Amino acid sequence: MQTATAPPRPAPKAPRPTPWRLLRDGWRWLRTMRTALILLFILAAGASVGSLFPQEPVSPGRVQDWIAGHPAWAPLARRLHLFNVYGSWWFTTIYVLLLVSVVGCIVPRYRALFRQIRSKPRTDGPLDGLPQYRATLSPTTPDDVLADAEREFKRSRYRVVRSNGTIAGEKGHTRELGSIVFHTAFLLLLVGIVIGKGFGFSGQVAVVEGDRFTDTNVAYDSLHEGRFFGDRHRGFTMQLNNFDVAFQPSGIPKDFRSYVTLYDRGRLVRNGRIRVNEPLVYKGVSVFQLAWGWAPRVTVTQNGKLLSDAPIVVLQDQKTGSWRGVVKVPQTKPMQLGLELYFYNDLEVTSTNIPFNRSPLARRPVLFFQSFRGDLGLDRPQSVYALDKSALAPGDVGGIPLGGSTNLPGGIVVSFPQLKQYSVFQVASDPGAPLMLAAAILILVGLLPALYSSRRRVWVRAAPDAAGSRVEVAGQAFQRKSAFEEEFKAIVRNLDRDLARSGTRDG
């Protein structure tokens, strides 16, 4: 009665964009493959931007060069995070959106896969409409036909169901399972990255032979700590006993080796060797061989009183090949003394009187210096590798061969009694690494069946017939259809052979 009296329904109005609806539509949009594809291409494009501009975390020096070279564009580039693309909000947004899209795709597929695996292939319904179909007559009974078929399907590792005079087999769920594992592994990868970045740390430290460093936040020359790292430095102490570097005749390095002793809470824990590609691992912290250099020991005395005696870490100047460093001696009277060092390990001079290193070996070590007098400005923060020359005046210059010394005005003697080497270590802890390795393995394990396996179904139905049985064979593949055509032919061939054999056996 109600339907008869009900007024005609009004035409549906365009739905009002409520926040809920927007959210739902947005979620739907995000879940489509098309969106995922577009996000993939945006991700590729975004990543490429980072290779066009120097990146702050990788090469801060080149960022400064770029800014100096393009002063007009620098503020815009900085605002767009072009010098730190991979840490920028917009790059993060792209890959987070992509992963959300992946989740949106994957979760319904988890449920569908569960249903598929639990549901058995149907045995009722006509077979002759299926993509692969063949009907024949067999002299054997339907039961024998079905038994042969079951054996044949099981041998090809089909999951088999038998009822209604029909055998149905299905296989290839591994494809969907692999695809799901592959996609899910990227979420795991992200978790690994977040854990590693959040709870890990990495630092670099230069250690001169005979010296040691302790894993604390003040020991490192540069240090990145994760936001949630707290101060969980392990506190071990590593002493560099000896550093070896071997060269090919061509001058390229052959091997770097740092021989170290590890102490923890005053106890000797381990004697070890660190090489490139062979880090030392202790308490989840890995110590890597990163670089090396020379450390000439420089002593400064004034009127016979020793004021400074230390190996000086010198850094190689890529342009000239000389090694540069500084010595700061605030105790000299009446003015403080600063020395800029130019060290050559194998000094040779060109015909135009330009010094250079002939080889990477310490064959003819000479230390040149430029002295400065005045106020070193040590009350201001400054680099250990440079002098603050704002209150310094240049003084004498000189060169000292290894084992020699030179006199400066004011009773000051600078000597170069010993040459050592230093080793630069990268010290890092990444608690996300095992998870990332697991994710990487899952990515590969999932990828192979996702690409190569295919889901397919086969049926054999046998009905009694005057001569024996009427046999129908049918098949259907959801992927790789042409490959399945071949497989189906082989199944039919094998069945025919089996049936012929059981036919002769019975007869």
Partner 1 sequence: MVNSAYAQTSDGLFWVAFVVYFMALIGFVAAFAYRSKGASTLAVVLASIGAAAHAGSIATRGLAAARPPWGNMYEYSSMIAFLVVVGYLVIVNGRLKLRDLGGFAIALALVSLSLGRVLYAPAGPLVPALSSWWLKVHVAAMITASSTFSIAFIFTILYLLKDRAERRAATSLFGGSTVGAAYAGPTVGDKPGFPVDYASSEPVDAKRDGEVKGFWARLPSSEKLDTLAFRTHAIGFPIWTFGVIAGAIWASKAWGRYWGWDPKETWAFITWVIYAGYLHARATAGWRGRKAALVASAGFVSLWITYYVVNLWIVGLHSYAGVK
- Per CB under 8 A, 96 contacts partner 1: no
Contact with partner 1 (CB under 8 A) among 249, 266, 334, 381: 249
Assess contact for 362 and 346: CB atoms under 8 A.
Answer: yes
| Shortest distance (Å) from residue 462 CB to partner 1 | 33
- Per CB under 8 A, 89 contacts partner 1: no
| Shortest distance (Å) from residue 33 CB to partner 1 | 5
Assess contact for 95 and 47: CB atoms under 8 A.
Answer: no
Q: Bin 377: left if φ > 0, else alpha if -120 < ψ < 50, else beta.
A: left
Residue with tokens 């001079």: 349
- Residues sharing a CB contact under 8 Å with residue 90, sequence separation 6 or more, in sequence order: 46, 80, 81
DSSP secondary structure string for all residues of 278-309: B-EEETTEEEEEEEEEEEEEEEEEETTEEEEE
Of 72-80, 250-258, 364-372, 485-493: span binding partner 1 (CB under 8 A): 250-258
Of 278-286, 334-342, 384-392, 499-507: span binding partner 1 (CB under 8 A): 278-286
| Shortest distance (Å) from residue 488 CB to partner 1 | 18
- Per CB under 8 A, 433 contacts partner 1: yes
Site for partner 1 in 435-454 (CB under 8 A): 436-437, 440, 443-444, 447-448, 451-452
**Of 62 and 151, which CB lies nearer to partner 1 in the complex structure?**
62
- Per CB under 8 A, 26 contacts partner 1: no
Contact with partner 1 (CB under 8 A) among 101, 140, 184, 202: 202
- Per CB under 8 A, 290 contacts partner 1: yes
Around 28, how many Cα atoms within 13 Å sit in the side-chain half-sphere? 6
CA dist., res. 402 & res. 196, Å (int): 46
Contact with partner 1 (CB under 8 A) among 234, 426, 438, 503: 426
Assess contact for 157 and 499: CB atoms under 8 A.
Answer: no
What is residue 421's three-state secondary structure?
A: strand
**Of 202 and 357, which CB lies nearer to partner 1 in the complex structure?**
202
Contact with partner 1 (CB under 8 A) among 278, 309, 317, 486: 278
- With 0-12 / 13-18 / 19 or more C-beta atoms within 10 angstroms meaning exposed / middle / buried, residue 28 is exposed
**Of 288 and 416, which CB lies nearer to partner 1 in the complex structure?**
288
| Shortest distance (Å) from residue 279 CB to partner 1 | 7
What is residue 55's three-state secondary structure?
A: coil
- Per CB under 8 A, 254 contacts partner 1: yes
| Shortest distance (Å) from residue 217 CB to partner 1 | 18
**Of 378 and 451, which CB lies nearer to partner 1 in the complex structure?**
451
Contact with partner 1 (CB under 8 A) among 67, 291, 307, 335: 291
- Per CB under 8 A, 36 contacts partner 1: yes
Contact with partner 1 (CB under 8 A) among 47, 130, 194, 269: 47
Tell me how far apart the 2 most distant CA atoms of the chain are, in Å: 125
Contact with partner 1 (CB under 8 A) among 288, 343, 372, 484: 288
CA dist., res. 218 & res. 33, Å (int): 50
Site for partner 1 in 160-179 (CB under 8 A): none
CA dist., res. 343 & res. 358, Å (int): 13
Site for partner 1 in 386-405 (CB under 8 A): none
Residue with tokens 């896969």: 113
The 3-state secondary structure of 349-413, one letter per residue:
ECCCCCEEECCCCCCECEEEEEEEEECCCCCCCCCCCCCCHHHEEEEEEEEEECCCEEEECCCEE
Site for partner 1 in 370-389 (CB under 8 A): none
What is the identity of the amino acid at 93?
T
Residue (of 507, 496, 498, 506) closest to 137 by Cα position: 496
| Shortest distance (Å) from residue 189 CB to partner 1 | 10
CA dist., res. 192 & res. 140, Å (int): 60
**Token pair in block for residue 294:** 């020379």
- Per CB under 8 A, 269 contacts partner 1: no
- Per CB under 8 A, 100 contacts partner 1: no
Contact with partner 1 (CB under 8 A) among 156, 214, 239, 286: 286
Contact with partner 1 (CB under 8 A) among 122, 275, 324, 358: 275
Q: Which residues sit at the interface with partner 1, rule CB under 8 A?
A: 33-34, 36-37, 40-41, 43-44, 47-48, 50-51, 55, 57-59, 62, 85-86, 202, 248-250, 252-256, 275-279, 286, 288-292, 426-428, 430, 433, 436-437, 440, 443-444, 447-448, 451-452, 482
